[in-house]
């Protein structure tokens, strides 16, 4: 077990290096010359050269990469072209905000998805199962930004029971987990949770009904175990699949909620990426993508290790 | 049977297992199939019965009925009593109380019948704790004793092994240990050696036979292997299309088969004294249970079939001491045929 974990952690090193290379190359793959974004169109060539030298764009690529990487590992991601503030001071609070809302959404999705998925798997073929399947399929198909707008119209504009946008009176920096601030999380969390909840419900249903058809379930009943105890066995067998989906959905929510964060003006990573793309703020883009990609790698690592905890057969791989 | 008038306590007077007119029907919206039809038998303490038949003859369903281990679409009629307990009348909680303790089961394929993500020790200890209510430590100690009982080498190490870490033979031994964990009085074995290699089959079979004798359990084996039947059983029941077609002591049935189907089974199996001879398969295939022929189910495949066979299902009739057969042929016909199977020479 411990050897598997160590080996799995070592695998992260080449993956992480690969990620940094891709992130670094972003600047050079993007159309247009980086200095163009900050300089006026009619800037004299000397000024262009000066900017290039200031940002290190005049050096050969491997040198630029090594230089960039050496700064990145110390937490220095450079400066934003638009705001001139350090990339770290822009990216980390934004990722933290995304993490907050993603965590709320995942907890909600997990609760709803597992509950209805397991119910559906236990009642497979019945009316309950078909009703849940119908709702889940609808949940997967609904565009979340549309759902976000509908939620705002219904709960904020018409019923006036929840705030429409933002993170609360204190904004991003004054956010705390008190009742007033949590009210601002409700609608975005619901909008983000619907898709993952539906996906979790569908896969839990599939996994549970598949496991319940296996021979060993008969053995458990033949041993004289009751339904609760048998469910424990079903749950442990279903856990690796569920973990894999949670991992993917969490990573997806962290970086992929651009539209929902925009609709709710939630100052998260998606929101930041969105504005960085439109202002061609490449250092921000680079920093945000790198941090999110590392989260993705870390999530996968945690999922892989936890999976072997539930299913010993995976340790051999 | 001789004490019918004497009011004795249920446990000693009644046979350990008593099945009366058991029928099992699977109902679905589009069809109803009777898989087990009017099966009756009894089993005394320590006796071993073998249910023999082709796939789909109803032998597994008959056995699983004894602990009501069939999907909810199954409907039972008749009566099943285990040590006097009316199994078909039990509530869910009472049923799980006798499963694994009074009656337990060994499954055919130990790879899929054991939970892949729990250790062997956990799976055995769980059963012990369920029925005996002992501590974790005591249950684990009992699990270790059981693994030693079924002769698993390095039992202490195997306690923490997962099913995928064991060989087929060891897995089946672990399965047997699991079935024996709460000292069942009745052991049901559903083709316990079919999934194993030939050499391992015999070891497991001999182990089962010695455990059965040592622990004095009544045992029901389901098999399609005549060799297994005569090795482990005292009595044998041949099933065809959901019914018993022949039933009796293993020596009587295998040496003086009274039903043409039993004879057919014997002729289509390899055994020592018929070496070099051609095997004679039974022509045709088992009937569709949803569309049985009007008379005897075996009539379409039977070499002795005549018009009277199509008139109706023949009853089980006595053919000598305790031997029953469901055939309209008198005993005179089969007595002319020589015994085709010598039980002693088979293994």
Distance in Å, alpha carbon of B28 to nearest chain A alpha carbon: 13
**Rounded mean pLDDT of B289-317?**
86
Domain ranges in chain A with CATH number 1.10.3720.10:
92-316
Cα–Cα distance between B85 and B98 in angstroms, integer?
9
Q: Which of B286, B285, B228 lies closest to B35, judged by CA?
A: B286
pLDDT value at A173 more than 80: no
Q: Measured in Å, how far apart are chain A's first and last C-alpha atoms?
A: 12
Q: Give the pLDDT of residue B218.
A: 92
Residue in chain B closest to A223 (alpha carbons) equals B100
Q: Label the pairing between strands B85-86 and B74-82.
A: antiparallel
pLDDT value at B41 more than 50: yes
Minimum mean pLDDT range among A62-66, A189-193, A216-220, B163-167: A62-66
pLDDT value at A39 more than 50: yes
Q: Give the pLDDT of residue B271.
A: 67
pLDDT value at B94 more than 70: yes
Identify whether the C-beta of residue A222 lies closer than 8 Å to the C-beta of residue B63: no
Tell me the chain B residues in contact with residue A221 when contact means C-beta distances shorter than 8 Å.
69, 96, 99
pLDDT value at B159 more than 90: yes
H or E element that contains B173: helix B168-180
Residue in chain A closest to B183 (alpha carbons) equals A223
Q: Label the pairing between strands B32-43 and B74-82.
A: unpaired
Q: Give the pLDDT of residue B61.
A: 94
Residue in chain A closest to B119 (alpha carbons) equals A312
Tokens for B280, please give them. 């004679």
Q: Give the pLDDT of residue B2.
A: 40
**Rounded mean pLDDT of B73-90?**
92
Task: Give chain A's length.
Answer: 317
Q: Give the pLDDT of residue B75.
A: 93
Q: What is the pLDDT of residues B242-280, one digit of tens each?
A: 999 999 998 888 888 888 898 888 888 776 666 667 777
Torsions phi, psi for B40 (to 5 deg): -130, 135
Identify whether the C-beta of residue A310 lies closer than 8 Å to the C-beta of residue A304: no
Cα–Cα distance between B118 and B180 in angstroms, integer?
18
Q: Give the pLDDT of residue B345.
A: 43
Q: With bands split at pLDDT 50, 70 and 90, how would you rate the model's confidence at B7?
A: very low
Distance in Å, alpha carbon of B218 to nearest chain A alpha carbon: 17
User: Could you give the dihedral angle defined by the CA atoms of residues A268, A274, A280 and A281, in that order, rounded to the nearest 10 degrees?
Assistant: 0
Tokens for A248, please give them. 């993917």
Q: Give the pLDDT of residue A256.
A: 59
Q: Which CATH architecture has domain A92-316?
A: Orthogonal Bundle (1.10)
Tokens for A226, please give them. 């009751």
Cα–Cα distance between B177 and B163 in angstroms, integer?
13
Distance in Å, alpha carbon of A226 to nearest chain B alpha carbon: 7
Residue in chain A closest to B161 (alpha carbons) equals A312
Q: Give the pLDDT of residue A170.
A: 61
Chain centre to alpha carbon of residue A193 = 12
Question: Which of A222, A229, A236 is opposite residue B105, by nearest beta carbon?
Answer: A222
Q: What is the pLDDT of residues A210-232, one digit of tens each?
A: 999 999 999 999 999 999 999 99
Cα–Cα distance between B341 and B347 in angstroms, integer?
12
Sheet holding B74-82, edge to edge: B32-43, B17-27, B74-82, B85-86
Question: Which of B69, B107, B117 is opposite residue A236, by nearest beta carbon?
Answer: B117
pLDDT value at B110 more than 90: no
Q: What is the pLDDT of residues A84-110, one digit of tens each?
A: 888 888 888 888 888 888 899 999 999
Q: Is B115 on the interface with A (CB under 8 A)?
A: yes
Please, which residues have CB within 8 angstroms of residue B330's CB and are 6 or more apart in sequence?
none
Largest CA distance in chain A: 85
Burial of B54: CB neighbours in 10 Å, binned 0-12, 13-18, 19+: middle
Q: What is the pLDDT of residues B171-227, one digit of tens each?
A: 999 999 999 999 999 999 998 888 888 888 888 888 888 898 888 899 999 988 887
Q: Which of A172, A197, A196, A198 lies closest to A184, judged by CA?
A: A172
Distances (CA, A) of B46 to A252, B212, B244, B323: 62, 7, 22, 20
Tell me the chain B residues in contact with residue A214 when contact means C-beta distances shorter than 8 Å.
112
Distances (CA, A) of A136 to A115, A202, A250, B40, B42: 12, 7, 19, 49, 52
**Rounded mean pLDDT of A196-218?**
93
Q: Which of B151, B99, B147 lies closest to B122, judged by CA?
A: B147
B3/A77: higher pLDDT = A77
Mutant choice from A212, A219, A236 vs B, greatest count of B C-beta within 10 A: A219
As a whole number, the mean pLDDT across chain A is 86
pLDDT value at B330 more than 70: no
Tell me the chain A residues in contact with residue B68 when contact means C-beta distances shorter than 8 Å.
none
Q: Give the pLDDT of residue B13.
A: 56
pLDDT value at A307 more than 60: yes
Tell me the chain A residues in contact with residue B182 when contact means C-beta distances shorter than 8 Å.
224
pTM: 0.82
Identify whether the C-beta of residue A309 lies closer than 8 Å to the C-beta of residue A8: no
**Rounded mean pLDDT of B61-78?**
92
Which positions 120-159 of B are in contact with A (Cβ < 8 Å)? 126-127, 130-131
**Rounded mean pLDDT of A62-78?**
85
pLDDT value at B241 more than 60: yes
Q: With bands split at pLDDT 50, 70 and 90, how would you rate the model's confidence at B8?
A: very low
Q: With bands split at pLDDT 50, 70 and 90, how would you rate the model's confidence at A200?
A: very high
pLDDT value at A208 more than 90: yes
Give DSSP secondary structure letters for A110-163: HHHHHHHHHHHHHTTTSHHHHHHHHHHHHHHHS-HHHHHHHHIIIIIIIS--S-
Distance in Å, alpha carbon of A306 to nearest chain B alpha carbon: 13
H or E element that contains B81: strand B74-82
């Amino acid at each position: 077990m411990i050897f598997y974990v160590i080996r799995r952690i070592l695998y992260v090193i080449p993956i992480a290096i690969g990620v940094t290379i891709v992130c670094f190359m972003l600047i050079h793959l993007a159309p247009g010359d980086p200095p163009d974004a900050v300089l006026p169109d009619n800037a004299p060539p000397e000024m262009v050269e000066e900017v290039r030298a200031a940002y290190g764009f005049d050096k050969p690529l491997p040198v630029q990469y090594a230089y960039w990487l050496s700064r990145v590992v110390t937490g220095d991601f450079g400066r934003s072209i638009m705001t001139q503030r350090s990339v770290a001071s822009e990216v980390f609070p934004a990722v933290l905000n995304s993490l907050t809302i993603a965590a709320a959404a995942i907890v909600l999705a997990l609760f709803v998805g597992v509950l209805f998925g397991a119910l559906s798997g236990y009642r497979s073929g019945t009316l309950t199962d078909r009703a849940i399947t119908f709702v889940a399929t609808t949940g997967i198909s609904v565009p979340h930004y549309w759902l976000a707008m509908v939620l705002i119209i219904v709960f904020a504009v018409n019923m006036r029971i929840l705030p429409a946008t933002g993170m609360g009176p204190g904004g991003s920096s004054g956010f705390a987990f008190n009742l007033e601030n949590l009210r601002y999380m409700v609608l975005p969390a619901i909008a983000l949770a619907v898709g993952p909840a539906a996906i979790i419900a569908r896969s839990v249903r599939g996994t549970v009904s598949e496991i319940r058809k296996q021979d060993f379930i008969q053995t458990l009943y033949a041993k004289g175990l009751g339904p609760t105890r048998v469910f424990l066995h079903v749950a442990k067998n279903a856990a690796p699949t569920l973990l894999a989906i949670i991992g993917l959905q969490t990573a997806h929510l962290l970086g992929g909620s651009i539209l929902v964060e925009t609709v709710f003006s939630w100052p998260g990573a998606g929101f930041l990426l969105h504005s960085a793309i439109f202002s061609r703020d490449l250092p921000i883009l680079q920093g945000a993508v790198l941090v999110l990609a590392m989260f993705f790698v870390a999530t996968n690592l945690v999922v892989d290790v936890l999976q072997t905890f539930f299913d010993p057969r995976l340790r051999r791989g | 049977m001789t004490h019918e008038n004497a009011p004795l306590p249920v446990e000693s007077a009644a046979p350990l297992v008593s099945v009366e007119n058991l029928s099992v029907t699977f109902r679905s919206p589009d069809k109803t199939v009777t898989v087990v039809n009017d099966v009756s038998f009894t089993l005394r303490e320590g006796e071993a019965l073998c249910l023999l038949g082709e796939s789909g003859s109803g032998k597994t369903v008959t056995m699983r009925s004894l602990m009501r281990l069939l999907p909810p679409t199954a409907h039972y009629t008749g009566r099943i009593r285990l040590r006097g307990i009316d199994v078909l009348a039990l509530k869910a909680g009472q049923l799980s109380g006798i499963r694994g303790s009074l009656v337990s089961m060994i499954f055919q394929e130990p790879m899929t019948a054991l939970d892949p993500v729990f250790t062997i020790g956990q799976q055995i200890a769980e059963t012990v704790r369920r029925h005996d209510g002992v501590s974790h430590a005591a249950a684990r100690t009992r699990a270790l004793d059981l693994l030693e009982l079924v002769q698993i080498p390095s039992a202490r190490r195997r306690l923490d092994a997962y099913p995928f870490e064991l060989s087929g033979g060891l897995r089946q031994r672990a399965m047997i240990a699991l079935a024996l964990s709460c000292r069942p009085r009745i052991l049901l074995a559903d083709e316990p050696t079919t999934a194993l290699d030939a050499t391992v089959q015999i070891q497991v079979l001999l182990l089962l036979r010695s455990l059965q004798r040592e622990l004095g359990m009544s045992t029901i084996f389901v098999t399609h292997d005549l060799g297994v039947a005569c090795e482990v059983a005292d009595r044998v029941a041949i099933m065809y299309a959901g019914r018993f077609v022949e039933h009796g002591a293993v020596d009587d049935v295998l040496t003086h088969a009274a039903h043409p189907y039993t004879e057919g089974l014997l002729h289509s199996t390899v055994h020592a004294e018929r070496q070099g001879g051609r095997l004679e398969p039974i022509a045709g295939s088992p009937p569709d249970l949803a569309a049985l022929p009007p008379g005897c189910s075996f009539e379409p495949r039977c070499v002795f079939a005549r018009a009277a066979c199509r008139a109706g299902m023949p009853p089980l009739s006595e053919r000598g001491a305790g031997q029953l057969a469901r055939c309209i042929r008198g005993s005179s016909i089969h007595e002319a045929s020589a015994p085709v199977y010598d039980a002693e020479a088979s293994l």
